Structures are given as C-alpha cells and as structure tokens.
C-alpha cells in the first residue's frame, strides 16, 4: 500500500518482504522497480549508504525489538537520508510486547530511545490512531527521523584555529 502512495513521488522504488505471496501480489501491480523476498534486517544489512528514504508502514509491528532493525537500517541510509515508520503503541513500561493479534506493540519511551540510540535525529514523533480493529482504536506512533549528514572539516577550517594540516 505504501508503494502505491510513493510511486509518483520517487524515481526509483524498491520493496522487501519475507512473504513470497506478498512479493508475487506486489509484482502483479507493477509499482516497484525492484522487489526482494528477504528477511528485513538481512536485506538492510547488505546495503551501504545508498537509500535516501526508507519507509515501513505496518512493518515493524511484526519485528519485535527495534534495535536490530535500526542497526541494519541506519547504515543503509545515505547521510541525510530519512526513515519514516509506524508502530503500534502501548503505555506500559515494557519496551515491546506481543499482542493477541500477533503484532508487537512498542513502548513510546523505548521507541524514542531506540531511535536516538541508533544515531538518528527525530524530526517528527506523533501518537495517532493507526486503524480500527473490530471497532476499537489501535493506538500507534508515526516516526520520521534523519541520519545526520556528514560534516567534514579540517583544523584549517575551524575559525580561530590555525596551523597546517598535512594529508
């Protein structure tokens, strides 16, 4: 569903899913330039700083702990690259727990901490109702974060600091 929304806004679109059935269904729609059947963390870990945007709408709710996902995702982003994702939320102290729906709900504080610890700058962090399940609201979070841009300077570039730099 996210690919449909992004297709007209991007030049190149890739999709990853662990389900062969989802890959086949998505391929029939001809939305993506590339589709891979792969485990998410492994697929992200194989990339190196070439993605300018990673989206995950209703994806991380099946992943449990965020740290391994973010550890794979951050190196895949180019400097200044963005990540936008949604999660089901809960108000408890636990970082994450599995709901009867077999979706993980993440703690708000734990999510914020995981994003910051992964080295991302939070641009937007909202509590929202993601959807209704049998008439009951499913509370969640929408997160947009950025990998910091590379800032390269040498001693001669720093005001008030003189000296020669040999390379």
130-150 per-position pLDDT tens digit: 999 999 999 999 999 999 998
pLDDT at 88 over 60: yes
Distance CA 151, CA 138 (A): 40
Please report, in angstroms and rounded to a whole number, the separation of the first and last CA atoms in the chain: 50
Cβ contact 121:107 at 8 Å: no
pLDDT tens per residue across span 91-131: 888 999 999 999 999 999 999 999 999 999 999 999 999 99
């Amino acid at each position: 569903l996210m690919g449909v929304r992004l297709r007209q806004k991007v030049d190149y679109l890739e999709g990853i899913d662990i389900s062969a059935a989802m890959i086949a269904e998505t391929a029939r729609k001809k939305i993506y330039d590339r589709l891979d059947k792969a485990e998410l963390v492994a697929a992200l870990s194989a990339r190196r700083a070439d993605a300018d945007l990673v989206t995950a709408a209703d994806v991380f709710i099946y992943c449990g702990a965020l740290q391994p996902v973010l550890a794979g995702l951050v190196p895949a982003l180019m400097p200044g690259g963005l990540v936008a994702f949604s999660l089901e939320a809960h108000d408890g102290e636990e970082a994450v727990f599995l709901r009867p729906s077999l979706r993980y709900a993440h703690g708000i504080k734990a999510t914020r901490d995981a994003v910051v610890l992964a080295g991302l700058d939070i641009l937007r962090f909202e509590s929202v109702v993601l959807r209704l399940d049998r008439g009951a609201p499913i509370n969640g979070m929408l997160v947009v974060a950025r990998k910091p841009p590379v800032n390269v300077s040498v001693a001669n570039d720093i005001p008030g600091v003189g000296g020669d730099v040999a390379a």
